[in-house]
Amino acid sequence: MKLTDSTKGWIVWAALDSSMRGMSLSAGSSPLHSPKITPHTSPAPRRRSHTPNPANYMVPSSASTSVNNPVSQTPSSGQVIQKETVGGTTYFYTDTTPAPLTGMVFPNYHIYPPTAPHVAYMQPKANAPSFFMADELRQELINRHLITMAQIDQADMPAVPTEVDSYHSLFPLEPLPPPNRIQKSSNFGYITSCYKAVNSKDDLPYCLRRIHGFRLVNTKCMVLVDMWKKIQHSNIVTLREVFTTKAFAEPSLVFAYDFHAGGETMMSRHFNDPNADAYFTKRKWGQHDGPLPRQHAGLLPESLIWAYIVQLSSALRTIHTAGLACRVMDPTKILITGKTRLRVNCVGVFDVLTFDNSQNNNPLALMAQYQQADLISLGKVVLALACNSLAGIQRENLQKAMELVTINYSSDLKNLILYLLTDQNRMRSVNDIMPMIGARFYTQLDAAQMRNDVIEEDLAKEVQNGRLFRLLAKLGTINERPEFQKDPTWSETGDRYLLKLFRDHLFHQVTEAGAPWIDLSHIISCLNKLDAGVPEKISLISRDEKSVLVVTYSDLKRCFENTFQELIAAANGQL
């Protein structure tokens, strides 16, 4: 049988025990469809004895010729002259189809590949079946979807407007400030709030950072905003637009960023333990210091710190190359998604809030100074991570913090921190720390590629789910339909009756004892044979066991497609 595009590469998901890979896909011999009759073709998929045409997969070299073709082949042209007689007339034509490769057998309706070895030996094997994506990844994705779809009860939060500019469905991502709050943000100098919202122009979720009570008096700062909008980087939350609004009952400035569901700040991930500052807290007279923190015992592992350094320095390098400055290199403005993925958030906010008339002629005049400040801020973030405490970056604790780094971490990490925090007589660049990172960059690259391999393997387990679901959905619209075109017996006659019996063959089989027989491999294998239309025969038995119909999957596919097209035509008013 020659494979068509619809029959290539069926990658089937099946909840089988991982120990059964490479063996029969059935859990055992087929049970009885009824207490008396056994369907001899169900459900164990068998390897086809014939070879499909591999020309659909690859083109043979010019040296490859068909050994079974009785017609001679011209060596110079590499083409086969075919002969066919129709109605007494003989026709000669040139067959340009590539000749099949001999000695190769391909499955014609399904493929059950095991896990790739480079992934299988990458992590400890679980006892659970591995035909579906890992539970950890599935739960992480579900949590992201849940956060993305979250909404508020407008009656409980009347202060949140239903619509802001072109955004709607606002959902607070952090506690809203009290209405009469006077205390301002320690970062921006203004009261701020953050929302998830959906843009009505593209129906995509975004993160809105609102600056309370800010009036934009100079629009020339939008030159910098346009520069920020052009930056696309894997470790930077992209700025999409900036606009003013009065939807919050007061003038407000709103920054719209890409929304990364499930992200948390570095502050909440690593610096929310009140006991972490105990090492730097001043002791009373006569009170001894506590135990010295160590790696994996109060301090972060050095490999994690270097992973953060690589990502943050990569973000700074892109920003500085574009002629801008980050100015928000702070644990409260660094987002962490997943385990170690970092993104610098709130970029461009300071460029708008601190823009004054003196910069009218050259908005980039102070960028070199701000870039130097970015390097110092990066050094403070790295030192805080090494000490696992924000108290370590305070001026009075710097010496004690560096002693802690010297004892627990490598000299490369210590030298990097000293370089970033020490004033230099020349202009520094983020590229200067690349030699200090050294080969650790390759370690992070290797880890990222290994993570990509794992995710691709999980994707391969689920790649066919949508196709099988569509097949079941179509089958469900046909089976047991009460009436169609004023015919109450429509679903019980003609092609529909075959599909009804096929549905029973899929889901309603029983064992010899009359108990329901549940085997997901049987369901998956039969659905893929139906979708491919293979010539394998199948016995369909009526519920009263008085009729046995022997049909092929290709016949069932034809009945299935014709019936569904009939429903579509009626739904579109074409009947």
Name the more confident of 62 and 289.
289
Local confidence band at 290 (pLDDT 50, 70, 90 cut-offs): low
Residue 32 in contact with residue 510, Cβ under 8 Å? yes
Mean pLDDT, residues 80-100 = 70
Longest CA–CA span in the chain (Å) reads 115
Domains (range + CATH), the chain: 5-47+464-571 (1.10.287.3700), 144-458 (1.10.510.10)
Q: What are phi and psi of 168, to 5 degrees?
A: -140, 180
Residues 111-122 pLDDT 10s? 556 667 767 677
What average pLDDT does the chain have? 80
Estimate to the nearest angstrom the gap between the alpha carbon of 95 and the chain centroid.
45
Residues 28-50 pLDDT 10s? 334 444 433 333 443 333 333 33
Examine the pLDDT at 328 and tell me if it is beyond 80.
yes
Length of the chain: 575
Supply the DSSP string of 336-348, one letter for each residue: EETTTEEEE-STT
Q: In the numeric block, which tokens belong to residue 525?
A: 């294998």
User: Is 192 assigned a ligand-binding role in the annotation?
Assistant: no
d(CA 53, CA 104): 9
Local confidence band at 131 (pLDDT 50, 70, 90 cut-offs): low
d(CA 554, CA 445): 48
Question: At 549, which helix (H) or strand (E)?
Answer: strand 548-552
Side chain identity, residue 456? E
Mean pLDDT, residues 318-334 = 96
Local confidence band at 57 (pLDDT 50, 70, 90 cut-offs): very low
Strand partners, 245: 252
Q: In the numeric block, which tokens belong to residue 286?
A: 């006569």
Residue 254 in contact with residue 244, Cβ under 8 Å? yes
DSSP 547: -
Contacts 24+ apart (CB under 8 A), 354-363: 355/218, 355/220, 355/221, 355/224, 356/218, 357/218, 359/220, 360/218, 360/220, 363/220, 363/221, 363/223, 363/224
d(CA 541, CA 504): 9
User: Is 5 assigned a ligand-binding role in the annotation?
Assistant: no
Q: In the numeric block, which tokens belong to residue 368?
A: 């070199």
User: Is 132 assigned a ligand-binding role in the annotation?
Assistant: no
Q: What are phi and psi of 195, to 5 degrees?
A: -135, 150
pTM (two decimals): 0.72
Q: With pLDDT > 90 as the criterion, what percentage of the chain qualifies?
A: 49
Supply the DSSP string of 357-376, one letter for each residue: GGGSS-TTTTHHHHHHHHHH
Local confidence band at 83 (pLDDT 50, 70, 90 cut-offs): confident
Say how many CA atoms lie within 13 Å of 50 toward its Cβ: 10
User: Is 265 assigned a ligand-binding role in the annotation?
Assistant: yes
d(CA 381, CA 127): 41
User: Is 332 assigned a ligand-binding role in the annotation?
Assistant: yes
d(CA 260, CA 205): 9
User: Is 33 assigned a ligand-binding role in the annotation?
Assistant: no
Reference 344, options 242, 255, 257; nearest CA is 257
Estimate to the nearest angstrom the gap between the alpha carbon of 416 and the chain centroid.
34
Cβ contacts of residue 71 below 8 Å, gap of 6+? Answer: 80, 81, 82, 83
Residue 463 in contact with residue 111, Cβ under 8 Å? no
User: Is 505 assigned a ligand-binding role in the annotation?
Assistant: no
d(CA 314, CA 378): 12
Side chain identity, residue 189? G
DSSP 324: -
Examine the pLDDT at 535 and tell me if it is beyond 70.
yes
d(CA 544, CA 147): 51
Q: Which is it for the CA torsion 219, 221, 225, 226, positive or negative?
A: positive
Question: At 399, which helix (H) or strand (E)?
Answer: helix 398-408
Residues 483-499 pLDDT 10s? 888 888 998 899 999 99
Local confidence band at 90 (pLDDT 50, 70, 90 cut-offs): confident
User: Is 261 assigned a ligand-binding role in the annotation?
Assistant: yes
Cβ contacts of residue 186 below 8 Å, gap of 6+? Answer: none
**Sheet containing strand 341-344, strands side by side:** 264-265, 334-337, 341-344
Examine the pLDDT at 69 and tell me if it is beyond 60.
no
User: Is 260 assigned a ligand-binding role in the annotation?
Assistant: yes
pLDDT of residue 76: 45
> Which region among 155-169, 203-217, 288-302, 485-499 has the lowest average model confidence (pLDDT)?
288-302
d(CA 461, CA 13): 6
d(CA 412, CA 198): 45
Residue 215 in contact with residue 379, Cβ under 8 Å? no
Examine the pLDDT at 7 and tell me if it is beyond 50.
no
Q: Which is it for the CA torsion 261, 264, 266, 269, positive or negative?
A: negative
User: Is 262 assigned a ligand-binding role in the annotation?
Assistant: yes
> Which region among 14-23, 341-350, 401-410 has the lowest average model confidence (pLDDT)?
14-23
Local confidence band at 136 (pLDDT 50, 70, 90 cut-offs): confident
Residues 228-243 pLDDT 10s? 999 999 999 999 999 9
Strand partners, 205: 198
DSSP 60: P
- Ranges of H-type helices in 114-193: 117-120, 135-148
pLDDT of residue 123: 58
Mean pLDDT, residues 72-81 = 51
d(CA 395, CA 97): 77
Examine the pLDDT at 288 and tell me if it is beyond 70.
no
CB atoms under 10 Å from CB of 408, counted, come to 20
d(CA 331, CA 141): 25
pLDDT of residue 182: 61
d(CA 195, CA 125): 40
User: Is 84 assigned a ligand-binding role in the annotation?
Assistant: no
